[in-house]
Amino acid sequence: MANRWKTTQVDGGRDKLLLIDGNSIVFRAFYAMPPLTNSAGLHTNAVFGFTTMLLKVLEEERPTHLLVAFDAGKTVFRHEGFAEYKGGRQKTPPELSEQFPLLKELLDAFSIFRYEIPGYEADDIIGTLTKQAEQAGIEAVVVSGDKDMLQLASERTSVLLTRKGVSETERYTPEAIGEKYGLTPLQIIDLKGLMGDASDNIPGIPGVGEKTALKLLAEYGSVEEVLAHAGEIKGKLGENVRGNMESAKMSKELATILREIPVERSWEQLAWEGAEHPALLAALRKLEFKSLIERLALSEGEADAASVAASRSRLRDRARARCRGLVGARGGAPACRELRP
């Protein structure tokens, strides 16, 4: 449609689901981009960085279905097993907090579905939807800055991890994970179980970093097998493993993305048909993202014309609906005959 902005559909008309880890990307955009405000004094650098990444991915991946997942609050089910989960994180800067509503408004203007579930993280929403897509034989692409997402890679699901802020991404498939780490996607969970994750305050085993964890997994294959052979591991490493067995088990559990949470959204709701020019232009103008307006070839004149055309179409549809009951044996009123397709 002329009044919508949309990327070209994937070749062959096959469905393709794009899932974006909203919290991960917006945080990375905030710290990667220089300070930016609009004339109203609102900070906009994180929204600008997120949007440039979004446009790049939309143009490259050309999805038919799309969702941005967000965390819902700071307390999730993982805190039930480990109260210190994500403890020690610094408070979100107010310059970033004020941008979340702006970002969500812009996603609405793009007609992009956004979703969050209290008690769960964005990871779990994405994990559930990728599993559903796989079961339906649909290709899925995950965009995140979090390596935990690599556990979701499969024959039908690839993961794009951001590099250098959010301007570049690197694609991971099961083959790519094997080449880089010597692991299967599911072993990424074991890797986190052994080495922990400081960003989420997942303890792992003290003294075990990525190199040592990879060495242990190359020999034993999983956290469970490492612990089962803890008596064979010599020196300080062996002492640390034997002294932190429960920590390793808990850490693996914390790093496991759930894939069967109650996501109450239909496949049809995730369909992306593009953004309406008037709404998108208004949102970008509020943020004063002039370069993005130019990049998308939007203009106030185009938006006004599209808005008028859309309004005329809606009025015509309503008139047709009213006339359906008037058209009888004689063909109805002249105005109604003219409205017939």
Give tens-digit pLDDT for 32-79.
999 999 999 999 999 999 999 999 999 999 999 999 999 997 788 898
pLDDT at 335 over 80: no
Asked if 251 contacts 245 with a C-beta cutoff of 8 angstroms, the reply is: no
Among 56, 67, 40, 24, CA closest to 267? 67
Element (H, E) at 65: strand 65-69
Strands 16-21 and 65-69: parallel
Counting Cα atoms < 13 Å in the Cβ hemisphere of 274 gives 14
Higher-confidence position of 165 and 16: 16
- 13-22, 71-80, 214-223: range with lowest mean pLDDT: 71-80
Higher-confidence position of 156 and 1: 156
* C-alpha–C-alpha distance, residues 194 and 253, integer Å: 11
Please give the C-alpha separations between residue 245 and each of 188, 193, 195, 262, in angstroms, as whole numbers: 18, 10, 12, 32
Overall average pLDDT of the 130-144 stretch? 97
* C-alpha–C-alpha distance, residues 209 and 103, integer Å: 36
Check if CATH label 3.40.50.2000 holds for domain 4-185+266-295: no
Tokens found for residue 295: 């990049």
What is the length of the chain? 341
* C-alpha–C-alpha distance, residues 46 and 11, integer Å: 32
**Model-level pTM?**
0.85
Higher-confidence position of 7 and 207: 207
Q: What is the pLDDT of residues 257-288, one digit of tens each?
A: 999 999 988 999 999 999 988 999 999 999 99
pLDDT band at residue 211 using 50, 70 and 90 as cut-offs: very high
Superfamily of domain 187-255, CATH level 4: 5' to 3' exonuclease, C-terminal subdomain (1.10.150.20)
Q: What is the DSSP letter of 199?
A: G
Which residues are 4's β-sheet partners?
276
pLDDT at 20 over 70: yes
